[in-house]
Amino acid sequence: MRLLLIATVLAALAATITVAGCGGTAEEPSTVGLDVVAAFYPLAFAAEEIGGEDVSVLDLTPPGVEPHDLELAPDDVNRIEDADLVLYLGGGFQPAVEQAALRSRGPVDLLEGFDLQADGGPHVWLDPARYAEIVERLGRLLDGNDAAEDLAGRLRDLDAEFENGLADCERRVFVTSHAAFGYLADRYGLEEVSVAGIEPEAEPAPADLADVVDRVRASGATTVFVEPLASPAIAETVAREADIDVQTLDPLEGLTEEQLAAGEDYFSVMRANLAALREALGCR
């Protein structure tokens, strides 16, 4: 029966992707008792919100761990292979997870079919409107359309908060430690200047670092944003050279133990990000 359920759900996913492309809907099978492995926090959060008690969700990336740096232990590989569904983002964001997922019984690349930015990486969840599309896809997959529509509605409300909050600002350029916020910047008419590339721990060459400092000075930016889960050392060097402040902007790749204990989630962290951006950009 379990193998039949897996086959049915995977067939439903294929139908979902096809139907979503032409704007229709499809009837989904029951997924009660489904074991889901999610590659990292945004996917686990959405799956838990949509599946509720009927779905068991395991977040492969532990709290406080940068998902780019995740190394799979043998037990992790076993969990992936035993899961009914494995949710991940393709394109090399987490290569080890992606490779293991492709050997599993139920791999689901939630970036498949998305119109992605050439240099935006996988960070689509930082645009609430794009994240809502992932949520709706998960709703069809997990037989939780009502819960998914509720969550997508909250995301669209958050999108409106960002749209209004970032509409009237003195500056449109913000500086980050790594290029995680391209989709957010594109959504709200901002420009991101990043110290490093898509990989947060990648160290720029001295000439590239000097170029970043020059761009930061020319932009009129007042702040370099660092991240909770990555080293701030290079960004702090840029801030020191450009004589500007250092603040935190959270790419929500994962939450810390302290954030979870305080009841933080995607929405609270994103609203904190909005407040930080408004201050740095001089928004009214």
CATH H-level, domain 2-161: superfamily: Nitrogenase molybdenum iron protein domain (3.40.50.1980)
Residue 14: per-residue pLDDT: 44
Domains 2-161 and 168-281 share a fold: yes
* % pLDDT > 90, the chain: 67
CA terminus-to-terminus distance, the chain: 58
Mean pLDDT of the chain: 86
Question: What tokens appear for 212 in the block?
Answer: 């970043």
For residue 11, is pLDDT > 70?
A: no
Taking residues 212-221, what's their average pLDDT?
Answer: 89
Would the pLDDT of 271 be above 80?
A: yes
User: Average pLDDT in the 23-43 region?
Assistant: 70
pTM: 0.85
Radius of gyration of the chain (CA): 20
> How far, in Å, are 37, 176, 179, 205, 245 from residue 240 at the CA level?
42, 14, 20, 17, 8
- Cα dist. 194→53, 106, 203 in Å? 40, 36, 12
* CATH code linked to domain 168-281: 3.40.50.1980
Structure tokens at 126: 């930082």
The pLDDT value given to residue 1: 38
Locate the domains of the chain by residue range. Answer: 2-161, 168-281
Cα–Cα distance measured from residue 90 to residue 68, given in angstroms and rounded to the nearest whole number: 13
Confidence band for 122, pLDDT divided at 50, 70 and 90: confident
Can you tell me the distance from the alpha carbon of 79 to that of 35, in angstroms, rounded to the nearest whole number? 9
Q: Give tens-digit pLDDT for 159-187.
A: 999 999 999 999 999 999 888 999 999 99
pLDDT of 199 strictly over 60? no
Question: Hey, which of 71-75, 209-213, 267-271 has the most confident mean pLDDT?
Answer: 267-271
80 vs 100: CA distance, rounded Å: 7
